[in-house]
Amino acid sequence: MKFPLIFYLNSFTEEKLGQAEKTELDAHLENLIARGDCTKNWTEKIFRQTEVLLQPNPSARIEEFFYEKLDRKIPSRTTNGELLGQYMLDAAKDFGPGTPYGSTLITVGEYQKRLGGAEREFLQTSAISFLTPLRNFLEGDWRTISKERRLLENRRLDLDVCKARLKKAKLAEAKAAAAPDFQETRPRNYVLSASASAAEHELRVAQTEFDRQAEVTRLLLEGISSTHVNHLRCLHEFVEAQAAYYAQCHKLMQELQKDLSRIPNAFVINPSTSGMSVCSPHSVTSLPGASSPSRSLVSTNTLEPETLKIEEVKPPATGTRKAKVLYDYHAADTSELSLFSDELITVYTMPGMDPDWLIGERGNEKGKVPVTYLELLS
């Protein structure tokens, strides 16, 4: 049933001004509509923020959006980890793969590329298992629901127009009956009665169409419960993908630390660089739970004499102290002592030693330990 646009405008305006009766939806349907709007709004926010999480670069997101709209395959994009790894490998070629720095760059670069590959796999899995279902709901199911809701609103306006027309016809008929014109009573009453009958018929038709559309809308909105169940499953898959990704990253970093600990870390000092500062050779630590402090730079003229033999070192009669270990430390060679977080050891220094190192003792074990890993106790 279609009415001229002016009828809808008049009806809508009168409803807003409180001058006309508005057909109210039943409470159950109103609750479903409110629940549907809530689902749509939060799904949209979660979808957008997940996109930002997986792809922080807005330009890349816009590019992917256009590829999707054009129904074209999104080109493969190198991750930041893969790019960093490739830079390290290229640098190692120029610095010399056989040098300590070059060989270390190769090792770290290869692991960075593996981390980048793990990130790429995580992004792809998350996009398929989590982003795609959310997008399908917003661009598919919700569009259908919105279309049927707009149609329901039109049916409601039709019904309100029919109610207003019937009300006016009834008032005109009652007014004519209260003040009859004896010269034209029968023709006028006949016309008014026919107008009221037509309005009643239109009202019945409008009520039927409104009820039918309300039922269609109700069934679609009740499907939101199934949407929640589906999104719940997708959310579990997203968390599983995150957990697998972070576990793989942790495993790769542990393997990298082990590989670095096996790389010879006694640097060959070039005489031409005498007087320059170099990184401490013992720079690889294993701190799975926290970041360790950086080793201090030492000058080449303070390198500990290679003739120092740990087994021949005797603790001084005085000057020993207790120290609490702050972080785990894996000994790089037999001259060092491995440390375990929170343990207490005895420490002391020897003449000519690097000030960044102390001699540590734990029972019958003895070896050099880095000062930065200790909290000296009084």
- Counting residues of the chain whose pLDDT is more than 90, the rounded percentage is 47
Q: What is the pLDDT of residue 293?
A: 44
Tell me: pLDDT of 77 over 50: yes
Single out the residue of 371, 111, 91 nearest to residue 249, CA to CA: 111
pLDDT category at 371 given cuts 50, 70, 90 is very high
Say if residues 286 and 259 touch (Cβ distance below 8 Å).
no
Instruction: For residues 64 and 127, give the distance between their C-alpha atoms in angstroms, rounded to a whole number.
Output: 12
How many C-beta atoms surround the C-beta of residue 231 within 10 A? 19
164 phi, psi to nearest 5 deg:
-65, -40
Q: What is the pLDDT of residue 280?
A: 43
How many C-beta atoms surround the C-beta of residue 201 within 10 A? 12
Single out the residue of 355, 360, 292 nearest to residue 320, CA to CA: 360
The DSSP line for 2-21 is: ---HHHHHHHHHHHHTTSS-
H helix runs in the chain, sequence order = 5-16, 27-54, 58-69, 80-95, 100-126, 132-136, 142-178, 185-222, 224-262
CA geometry: angle at 210 spanning 206 and 215, to 5°?
A: 155
Instruction: For residues 361 and 315, give the distance between their C-alpha atoms in angstroms, rounded to a whole number.
Output: 9
pLDDT digits (tens, 9 = 90+) for 236-288: 999 999 999 999 999 999 999 988 887 765 444 444 443 444 444 444 444 44
- Tokens matching residue 292: 């360790």
277 phi, psi to nearest 5 deg:
-90, 140
Lowest model confidence (mean pLDDT) among 67-81, 152-166, 208-222, 304-318:
304-318
The DSSP line for 320-341 is: -EEEEE-S-B--SSTTB--B-T
The CA-atom distances, in angstroms, between 123 and each of 48, 245, 313 are 15, 10, 55
Single out the residue of 367, 220, 232, 374 nearest to residue 308, CA to CA: 367
pLDDT category at 170 given cuts 50, 70, 90 is confident
Question: Which whole number is the average pLDDT over 333-349?
Answer: 91
Question: The whole model's pTM is what?
Answer: 0.60
pLDDT digits (tens, 9 = 90+) for 58-74: 877 777 666 676 667 76
Q: What is the pLDDT of residue 131?
A: 93
* 33: CB partners within 8 A, 6+ apart: 25, 149, 221
Single out the residue of 267, 286, 258, 278 nearest to residue 356, CA to CA: 278
Instruction: For residues 59 and 7, give the distance between their C-alpha atoms in angstroms, rounded to a whole number.
Output: 48
Single out the residue of 53, 113, 52, 39 nearest to residue 239, CA to CA: 53
pLDDT category at 180 given cuts 50, 70, 90 is low
